[in-house]
């Protein structure tokens, strides 16, 4: 879908009370195809036509190299992630019997480095039991090569990533998203005057913690993803909580009650499915929440949350195309009680 059409679809879901212009950030045409810096692929499955438009060319080269090995590789699937410095973290799903021969995985690493000219800095594997199901991203995985974490950088802020942990998939465009959100929060807080504290929640809390820990007296971070929770670096002013999604309202309530005179700005990446009605109603109507910066990649769920909103006004909408050649784009929406 063309970006112009995505912008029109986003405008169509905005409330009638929103009368401001939508800020549209043009897409750098250099990063509209074969941009994804994270790939998950079964070795025996063909790469879909749609995926061929967006997956990194180097990632597809790695996958096809494994597909064409002779004899056939026993590796079931691969997760590929590369960072700003073109360093690679690989995670293989292997059959249970291959666990007894990890030298094979080291051999594969050496082959890939030699023949595809990539710098692999971190290697993991997960096990598919004989007759069992493929492991999920939350099942145990094992480190066997290089460093335990892959470093990623945005605006000089560095995070550490485990396999399967949340990361943005278009580094060259994602960094502009994070920077634009930073400027928006700077504007909302009147150049970080520290009268409000920051809450960030969901899967995308790693970079917000690194971006904002020095600008607020206190940060409250809450995530339902144990992988993200384990990757977050401790900060002296950070309260970090791991909780199931259905526990979010209770955890928020406990936190607000512990600081009854403090006002807050919330930063959330809502994901494809948006926020649940109970949680959304709770935070938009809570008297201590003055502003919400809501990042959405799902237009329908954003539209639903806008319809469910009764406690705040939509002040600003920014649209950018973090996912060219797909149906999705990113909207950055500022909800405010002012």
Q: Which residue has the tokens 């939508």?
A: 22
Q: State how far the Cα of 196 lies from the Cα of 216, in Å rounded to an integer.
A: 8
* Angle at which helices 57-67 and 103-116 cross, to 10°: 130
Backbone dihedral angles phi then psi of residue 208, each to the nearest 5 degrees: -55, -40
List, edge to edge, every strand of the sheet that includes 289-296.
23-25, 313-320, 330-336, 289-296, 263-269, 196-201, 219-223, 238-242
Q: Which residue has the tokens 């597909």?
A: 67
- Across 206-218, average pLDDT: 96
pLDDT tens digits for 241-269? Answer: 999 999 999 999 999 999 999 999 999 99
- Across 102-119, average pLDDT: 98
Task: Label residue 170 by pLDDT band (50, 70, 90).
Answer: confident
pLDDT tens digits for 304-327? Answer: 999 999 999 999 999 999 899 999
Mean predicted lDDT score pLDDT of the chain: 94
Return the pLDDT at 30: 86
DSSP 8-state assignment for residue 267: E
Percent of the chain residues topping a pLDDT of 90: 87
Return the pLDDT at 302: 95
Q: For the chain, which domains are there?
A: 3-30+170-336 (3.40.50.150), 36-148 (3.30.300)
Q: State how far the Cα of 284 lies from the Cα of 269, in Å rounded to an integer.
A: 15
Q: Is residue 272 pLDDT above 90, yes or no?
A: no
């Amino acid at each position: 879908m063309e970006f112009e059409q995505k912008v029109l679809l986003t405008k169509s879901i905005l409330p009638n009370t929103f009368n401001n212009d939508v800020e549209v950030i043009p897409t750098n045409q250099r990063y509209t195809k074969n941009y994804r810096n994270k790939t998950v692929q079964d070795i025996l499955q063909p790469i879909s036509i749609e995926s061929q438009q967006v997956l990194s060319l180097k990632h597809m080269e790695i996958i096809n190299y494994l597909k064409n090995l002779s004899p056939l590789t026993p590796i079931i699937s691969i997760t590929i992630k590369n960072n700003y410095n073109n360093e690679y973290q690989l995670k293989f799903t292997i059959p249970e019997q291959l666990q007894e021969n990890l030298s094979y995985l080291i051999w594969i690493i050496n082959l890939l480095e030699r023949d595809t000219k990539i710098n692999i800095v971190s290697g993991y594997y997960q096990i598919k039991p004989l007759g069992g199901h493929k492991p999920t991203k939350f099942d145990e995985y094992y480190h066997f090569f290089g460093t335990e974490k892959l470093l990623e950088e945005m605006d000089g802020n560095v995070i550490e990533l485990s396999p399967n942990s949340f990361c943005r998939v278009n580094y060259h465009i994602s960094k502009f998203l994070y920077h634009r959100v930073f400027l928006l929060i700077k504007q909302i807080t009147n150049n970080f005057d520290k009268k409000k504290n920051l809450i960030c929640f969901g899967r995308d809390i790693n970079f917000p913690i690194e971006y904002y820990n020095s600008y607020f007296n206190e940060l409250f971070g809450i995530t339902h993803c144990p992988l993200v929770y384990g990757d977050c670096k401790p900060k002296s002013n950070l309260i970090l909580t791991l909780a199931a999604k259905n526990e979010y309202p209770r955890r928020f309530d406990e936190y607000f009650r512990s600081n009854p005179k403090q006002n807050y700005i919330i930063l959330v990446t809502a994901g494809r499915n948006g926020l649940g009605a109970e949680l959304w109603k709770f935070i938009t109507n809570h008297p201590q929440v003055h502003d919400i910066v809501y990042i959405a990649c799902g237009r329908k769920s954003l539209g639903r949350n806008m319809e469910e909103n009764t406690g705040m006004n939509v002040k600003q909408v920014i649209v950018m195309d973090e996912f060219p050649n797909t149906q999705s784009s990113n909207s950055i929406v500022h909800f405010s009680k002012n």
